[in-house]
Structure 1
Amino acid sequence: EYFQGPLTDPFLFIRPGTVDTILSDALGLMSASHASGAHYYYSVAEMGYLQRFVEAHPDRLDSLRAVGQDLRIVGGGITSPDSLLPPGEAFIRDYLVGKTWVDAMLGLAIRQAWVPDDFGHDPQLPIVLEAMGFEGVGFGRVPGVARATQSLGFTPPDPGSIAAALLRHGSDFVWRAADGSAVVAHWMPGGYCQGDFNLGGTPGHESLDRLARLIATDGNASRTPYIFIPIGCDFSRPRADLLDLVAAWNAGGYARTGVWAVAATFDHYVQLLAAHRATLPVRRFDPTPYWTGFYATRPLLKTMHLRATYALLAAETFGALADGAERRDADAWRARVQARTAAIHAGWAALVPGNHHDFITGTALDSVYEDEQLPRLAEALVTGEAERTRALDEIVSAVRPRARDEAGTVVVFNPLGFARRGLVEAPGGPTRRDEQASAEGGRLFLARVPSLGYATEDRARTRRGVVGRASLTVQPDGSAVMLENQHLRATLRQDSGWGIVSLVDKHTGREVIRSGEVGNALVVYADDGGLYRFGSEMEGCRLAPRLGAVGGGVARVLESGPLRARFVADTTVDGRPFRKEYQLVVGEPYLRMISTGSAAVGTSVMVHFPLAGPIDRLIHGTPYHWDRKRPERAGELTFEATHDFLVPEFRGRARMAVFHAGVPAWAVRRDGLVVGALWRNAPQERCDFYGAQGSDAHEVAV
Structure 2
Amino acid sequence: MIHPRSKDLTFHLVGHAHIDPVWLWDWREGHETVKATFRSALDRLHENPDMVFVHSSAAQYAWMESHPVLLAEVRAAVERGQWEPVGGWWVEPDVNLAHGEALARQALLGQRTFGRLLGRRARVGFLPDSFGHPGTLPQLLVQSGLDSFVFMRPSAGEIDLPSRLFHWEGVDGTRILSAHVECYNSSPNQIQTSLERNLAWRPEALQHWVGLFGVGNHGGGPTRRAIANLRELAEQPDWPTLRLNSLRGFFDSVRHEDVPVYAGELQHHARGCYAAVSDIKRLNRQAEHALLRAEKLAVMARSANFSYPHESLTRAWQGLLFNQFHDILAGSSIPSAFQDAYHQLGEVLSIAGRVTFAASQAIADSVDTRRGGRNVDEVIRSVRWDGPSWVTDYGDGVPVLVFNPSSAERDEAVEIELNDWHTEHLRLIDDTGREVAHQRLRPESVNGQGRPRFVFRAHLPACGYRLYRVLDEQSSGQVLSPPLSASTGGIENAYWSLQFESDTGALRALINKFSGVNLLAGTGAQLQVVRDDSDTWGHGAHAYRQLVGVFGDAKLEVLELGEVRATVRATTRFRSSTAVQDFTLYANSPEITARLSLDWRETHHAAQLVFPAALSDVSATYEVPYGFTTRPADGEEEPVQSWLDVSGFARDRRGVSRPAGLALLNDSKYSASVLGGEIRLTLARSPVYAHHDPATLDPAVTYEHLDQGPQRVRWSLVPHDGDWRAARVPALAEQLNQPVVFTREYVHDGAAPGSHSALRLTGLATVTVSALKQAEDDDDLIVRLHEWGGQAVSGTVHLGAHAIEVELRPQQVLSLRITPGGEARVVNFLEEAHG
- The TM tier, using the shorter chain, reads 0.7 to 0.9
Contact 2:437 2:481 in 1 (8 A): no
1:268 positional shift: 2.4
1:43-54 equivalent positions in 2, closer than 5 A: 43-54=54-65
Contact 2:596 2:712 in 1 (8 A): yes
Three-state SS of the structure 2 residue aligned to 1:374 is helix
Structure 2: which 5+ runs fail to align?
A: 1-16, 380-395, 419-424, 429-434, 444-451, 471-475, 650-657, 698-702, 714-835
Structure 2 equivalent of residue 410 of structure 1: 400
Structure 1 pair 238–617 and aligned structure 2 pair: CA distance change class (3 A): same
Paired AA for residue 84 in structure 1: N
Structure 2 equivalent of residue 469 of structure 1: 482
1:291 positional shift: 2.3
Contact 2:542 2:637 in 1 (8 A): no
Show CA shifts across 1:327-371 (max 9, x none): xxxxxx7xx44xx211111111111112111111111112222x2
Structure 1 pair 470–139 and aligned structure 2 pair: CA distance change class (3 A): farther
Paired AA for residue 293 in structure 2: A
Paired AA for residue 667 in structure 2: A
Identity %: 19
Paired AA for residue 3 in structure 1: I
Q: Does 1:509 align with 2:516?
A: yes
Contact 2:408 2:462 in 1 (8 A): yes
1:308 positional shift: 0.9
Q: Does 1:425 align with 2:415?
A: yes
Contact 1:120 1:287 in 2 (8 A): yes
Paired AA for residue 342 in structure 1: E
Structure 2 equivalent of residue 61 of structure 1: 71
Q: Does 1:141 align with 2:153?
A: yes
Contact 1:467 1:586 in 2 (8 A): no
Three-state SS of the structure 2 residue aligned to 1:513 is coil
Contact 1:293 1:532 in 2 (8 A): yes
Show CA shifts across 1:370-408 (max 9, x none): x21221221211221122112111211222223332454
Structure 2 equivalent of residue 392 of structure 1: 360
Show CA shifts across 1:602-641 (max 9, x none): 2111111122244532012111100001111xxxx31121
From 211, 215, 230, give the equivalent of 2:212.
Answer: 230
How far, CA to CA, are the matches of 1:609 and 1:271 in structure 2?
50
Q: State which drifts further: 529-538 or 569-578.
A: 529-538
Contact 2:438 2:454 in 1 (8 A): yes
How far, CA to CA, are the matches of 1:690 and 1:386 in structure 2?
47
Structure 2 equivalent of residue 347 of structure 1: 316
Q: Does 1:699 align with 2:699?
A: no
How far, CA to CA, are the matches of 1:250 and 1:98 in structure 2?
36
1:84 positional shift: 0.5
Contact 1:75 1:115 in 2 (8 A): yes
Structure 2 equivalent of residue 82 of structure 1: 94
Structure 2 equivalent of residue 329 of structure 1: none
How far, CA to CA, are the matches of 1:562 and 1:273 in structure 2?
67
Contact 2:106 2:321 in 1 (8 A): yes
Three-state SS of the structure 2 residue aligned to 1:132 is coil
Contact 1:173 1:281 in 2 (8 A): yes
Contact 2:486 2:568 in 1 (8 A): no
How far, CA to CA, are the matches of 2:279 and 2:546 in structure 1?
24
Q: Does 1:551 align with 2:553?
A: yes
TM-score by length of 2: 0.70
Three-state SS of the structure 2 residue aligned to 1:699 is strand
Structure 2 equivalent of residue 436 of structure 1: 438
From 498, 506, 511, give the equivalent of 1:499.
Answer: 506
Paired AA for residue 192 in structure 1: Y
Contact 1:534 1:543 in 2 (8 A): no
Q: Does 1:625 align with 2:627?
A: yes
Three-state SS of the structure 2 residue aligned to 1:375 is helix
Structure 1 equivalent of residue 293 of structure 2: 314
Contact 2:270 2:538 in 1 (8 A): yes
Three-state SS of the structure 1 residue aligned to 2:223 is coil
Three-state SS of the structure 1 residue aligned to 2:88 is coil
Contact 1:223 1:280 in 2 (8 A): no
1:230-379 equivalent positions in 2, closer than 5 A: 230-232=212-214, 233-234=216-217, 235-240=219-224, 244-253=228-237, 256=238, 259-276=240-257, 279-326=258-305, 336-337=307-308, 340-369=309-338, 371-379=339-347
How far, CA to CA, are the matches of 1:47 and 1:380 in structure 2?
19
1:132 positional shift: 2.0
Contact 2:150 2:178 in 1 (8 A): yes
Contact 1:434 1:464 in 2 (8 A): no
How far, CA to CA, are the matches of 1:366 and 1:87 in structure 2?
24
Structure 2 equivalent of residue 446 of structure 1: 457
From 446, 462, 481, give the equivalent of 2:490.
Answer: 481
From 658, 669, 672, give the equivalent of 1:666.
Answer: 672
How far, CA to CA, are the matches of 1:536 and 1:182 in structure 2?
31
Structure 1 equivalent of residue 639 of structure 2: 641
How far, CA to CA, are the matches of 1:464 and 1:665 in structure 2?
47
Contact 2:623 2:644 in 1 (8 A): yes
Deviation >6 Å, runs of 4+: 463-467, 684-687, 690-693
Three-state SS of the structure 2 residue aligned to 1:310 is helix
Structure 1 equivalent of residue 534 of structure 2: 529
1:664 positional shift: 1.6
Structure 2 equivalent of residue 5 of structure 1: 21
Structure 2 equivalent of residue 39 of structure 1: 50
Structure 1 pair 420–268 and aligned structure 2 pair: CA distance change class (3 A): farther
Three-state SS of the structure 1 residue aligned to 2:546 is strand
Paired AA for residue 177 in structure 1: G
1:504 positional shift: 1.1
Q: Does 1:113 align with 2:116?
A: no
Contact 2:534 2:687 in 1 (8 A): yes
Paired AA for residue 582 in structure 1: F
Structure 2 equivalent of residue 154 of structure 1: none
Structure 1 equivalent of residue 613 of structure 2: 611
Structure 1 pair 470–384 and aligned structure 2 pair: CA distance change class (3 A): farther
Paired AA for residue 100 in structure 1: R
Structure 1 pair 646–39 and aligned structure 2 pair: CA distance change class (3 A): same
1:473 positional shift: 2.1
How far, CA to CA, are the matches of 1:366 and 1:211 in structure 2?
33
Show CA shifts across 1:618-671 (max 9, x none): 012111100001111xxxx3112112211112269333111112212111112x
Three-state SS of the structure 2 residue aligned to 1:359 is helix
Paired AA for residue 266 in structure 1: L
Three-state SS of the structure 2 residue aligned to 1:123 is coil
Higher helix share: 1
Three-state SS of the structure 2 residue aligned to 1:616 is strand
How far, CA to CA, are the matches of 2:478 and 2:85 in structure 1?
59
Higher strand share: 2
TM-score by length of 1: 0.83
Paired AA for residue 265 in structure 1: S
How far, CA to CA, are the matches of 1:547 and 1:570 in structure 2?
16
Paired AA for residue 644 in structure 2: L
Contact 1:23 1:53 in 2 (8 A): no
Structure 1 pair 134–418 and aligned structure 2 pair: CA distance change class (3 A): farther
Structure 1: which 5+ runs fail to align?
A: 146-156, 202-206, 327-332
How far, CA to CA, are the matches of 1:117 and 1:3 in structure 2?
10
How far, CA to CA, are the matches of 1:589 and 1:186 in structure 2?
48
1:581 positional shift: 0.8
Contact 2:61 2:71 in 1 (8 A): no
How far, CA to CA, are the matches of 1:445 and 1:490 in structure 2?
22
Structure 1 pair 46–694 and aligned structure 2 pair: CA distance change class (3 A): farther
How far, CA to CA, are the matches of 1:466 and 1:354 in structure 2?
48
How far, CA to CA, are the matches of 1:260 and 1:46 in structure 2?
31
Structure 1 pair 272–693 and aligned structure 2 pair: CA distance change class (3 A): farther
Matched residues, number: 628
With a CA cutoff of 8 Å and minimum separation of 6, indicate the structure with the bigger relative contact order.
2
Structure 2 equivalent of residue 153 of structure 1: none
How far, CA to CA, are the matches of 2:501 and 2:344 in structure 1?
41
1:231 positional shift: 1.5
